[in-house]
């Protein structure tokens, strides 16, 4: 996947998605800066490219850290965030400081220091529990959590910076991203990373609710593809685009697939539903396909096998 730009900053680049973007950009010969405060990211995520990226340990809320990291960069991939819905419910103010003010600081740094385009990680959480499926970008937002409100606020700021200052911004509404290096250590982690770790340890999972809630699970390498296309495609400035697969899987089906792949026969433990959780989620990706040429390359089964192989190696 050839890239047209020569130098990029990845905020949160030591995290799950950011480190995969870094790997791909380095492989394409791009000069990569990474800004991460290591609150949830890990230096070891960058181990495959550690000698070919410039790492800045710092916080997106710090204008001085941003000024140093962004020098000479044409593109910013803004991945840094507090990404947990439940944690945002528990700590709405501190999560807003990161997800709202941090995003505003990134956009302001881009404006001040001549960045051409900012690709922002947004979220399907902004759609809330609207029963209409699949989720289309023009649907009115119905956020059910502080996290969803914060991501929506970031989108509004991105649009304003595009319209007021001419900064090209593209907001990617991620659905449920999964893959190698997703941290399973927190109870707020992605369900696939938690399931994979439990399967490797031959322990049953806890499923919140009845397990019939559905998600559009998208493999991290496809998310990387969407980010690079969003950074390069002419005329994409000002857009907001779904990044998913257009297919949904229930949590029960997910655990069943993990059990089949690992040869386990373990029934899950069912717990009460969590506040802010969404019942159904499915992406309409026509806009990203038509505008960017985005085409997910990994089936759910293929992505799950690659993810399982990685978690098995870690156990």
What confidence tens digit (pLDDT) does each residue in 272-305 have? 998 777 788 899 999 999 999 999 999 999 999 9
Confidence of residue 187 (pLDDT cuts 50, 70, 90): low
- Burial-class residue 304 by CB neighbours within 10 Å (0-12, 13-18, 19+): buried
Q: Residue 1: is its pLDDT beyond 70?
A: no
Confidence of residue 93 (pLDDT cuts 50, 70, 90): very high
Identify whether the C-beta of residue 307 lies closer than 8 Å to the C-beta of residue 179: yes
CA 5 – CA 8 distance, rounded (Å): 8
Q: Residue 139: is its pLDDT beyond 70?
A: yes
Q: Model pTM?
A: 0.94
Q: b/e for 88-122, b at 16 or more Cβ within 10 A? A: bbeeeeebbebbbebbbbbbbbbeebebebbbbbb
Residues annotated as catalytic (active site), given as ranges = 147
**What is the mean predicted confidence (pLDDT) over 33-50?**
96
Half-sphere exposure of 53 (CA within 13 A, CB side): 34
What confidence tens digit (pLDDT) does each residue in 235-273 have? 999 999 999 999 999 999 999 999 999 999 999 999 999
User: What is the helix (H) or strand (E) element at residue 54, kind and residue range?
Assistant: strand 53-57
CA 21 – CA 12 distance, rounded (Å): 10
Helix (H, G, I), strand (E, B) or coil at 138: coil
The mean pLDDT of the chain is: 94
């Amino acid at each position: 996947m050839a890239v047209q730009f020569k130098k990029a900053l990845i905020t949160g680049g030591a995290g799950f998605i950011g480190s995969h973007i870094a790997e791909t950009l380095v492989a394409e010969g791009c000069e990569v800066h990474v800004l991460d405060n290591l609150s949830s990211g890990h230096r070891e995520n960058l181990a495959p490219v550690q000698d070919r990226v410039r790492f800045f340990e710092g916080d997106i809320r710090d204008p001085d850290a941003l000024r140093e990291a962004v020098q000479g960069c044409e593109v910013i991939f803004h991945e840094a965030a507090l990404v947990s819905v439940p944690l945002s419910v528990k700590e709405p103010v501190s999560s807003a400081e990161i997800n709202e003010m941090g995003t505003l600081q990134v956009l302001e740094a881009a404006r001040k220091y001549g960045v051409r385009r900012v690709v922002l990680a947004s979220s399907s959480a902004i759609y809330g529990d609207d029963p209409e499926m699949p989720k289309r970008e023009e649907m009115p937002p119905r956020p059910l959590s502080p996290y969803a409100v914060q991501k929506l606020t970031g989108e509004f700021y991105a649009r304003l910076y595009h319209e007021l200052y001419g900064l090209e911004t593209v907001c990617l509404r991620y659905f449920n991203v999964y893959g190698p290096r997703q941290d399973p250590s927190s109870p707020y982690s992605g369900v696939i990373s938690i399931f994979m770790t439990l399967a490797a340890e031959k322990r049953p999972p806890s499923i919140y609710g009845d397990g019939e809630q559905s998600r559009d699970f998208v493999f991290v390498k496809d998310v990387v593809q969407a980010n690079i296309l969003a950074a390069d495609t002419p005329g994409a400035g000002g857009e907001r685009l779904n990044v998913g697969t257009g297919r949904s899987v229930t949590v029960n089906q997910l655990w069943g697939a993990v059990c089949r792949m690992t040869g386990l026969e373990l029934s899950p433990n069912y717990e009460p539903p969590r506040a802010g959780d969404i019942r159904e989620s499915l992406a309409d990706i026509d806009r990203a396909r038509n505008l960017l040429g985005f085409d997910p390359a990994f089936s759910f089964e293929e992505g799950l096998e690659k993810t399982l192989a990685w978690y098995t190696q870690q156990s």
